[in-house]
Amino acid sequence: MKGKPRLHLRFFTLCKSVSTDTDGALNLLGLMSVIRVATKGAKPRGNATFRAAIAVYAEDESASYDLRFTVTRPDGEESDIDRATFGWNGKKWIGLLTVPVHVSVATPGLYWFRVYADGKFFAKAPLEIIHSIQPPTA
């Protein structure tokens, strides 16, 4: 028996926001791999909010794939961000998807955003959070 058709990656990236033109074109705004957080001498609090965007194609447009989005923090802990279905959803082909991401800026370091398709690793994108101490203003 033949397995499921292979899923191919067009891109996986992180961006500040997404907009859609009236003709349906998707605009990824503010592609990012670094977030600089001004600490002003104290440990920053709060979250960075952005989007993860992925585009795929498959060898058979009638197949569908379960996707799981995760983040791995600098300490190595991996946690789920979102889940989605790609491909044929019973009504139409879904080949482009964005999901919201919220990450605490309290811990600096390298974060890895991963996508798993049907339980297998598929793609990843890095994001570095840098704390920069700003001198006090007079």
DSSP 49-114: EEEEEEEEEESSTT-EEEEEEEEE-TTS-EEEEEEEEEEE-SSSEE-EEEEEEEEESSS-EEEEEE
pLDDT value at position 1?
44
C-alpha to C-alpha distance for 53 and 125, rounded to whole angstroms? 10
Whether 98 is covered by a domain: the verdict is: yes
What CATH number is given to the structural domain containing 34? 2.60.40.1930
Computed on alpha carbons and rounded to an integer, the radius of gyration of the chain in Å comes to 18
Domain contains 68: yes
| Residue pLDDT, tens place only, 34-76 | 999 888 777 888 899 999 999 888 777 777 889 999 999 999 9
Residue 83 counted as domain residue: yes
Does residue 93 lie within any of the structural domains?
yes
State how many domains the chain has.
Answer: 1
pLDDT bin (cut points 50, 70, 90) of residue 138 is low
CA distance 67 to 84: 5
Q: Let me know if residue 137 belongs to a domain.
A: no
Comparing CA positions, the residue from 17, 99, 18 lying closest to residue 52 is: 99
* pTM summary value: 0.85
Taking only the tens place, the pLDDT of each residue in 74-113 is 999 999 999 988 876 666 667 788 999 999 999 999 999 9
- What residues make up the domain containing 88? 7-132
In a domain, 138, yes or no: no
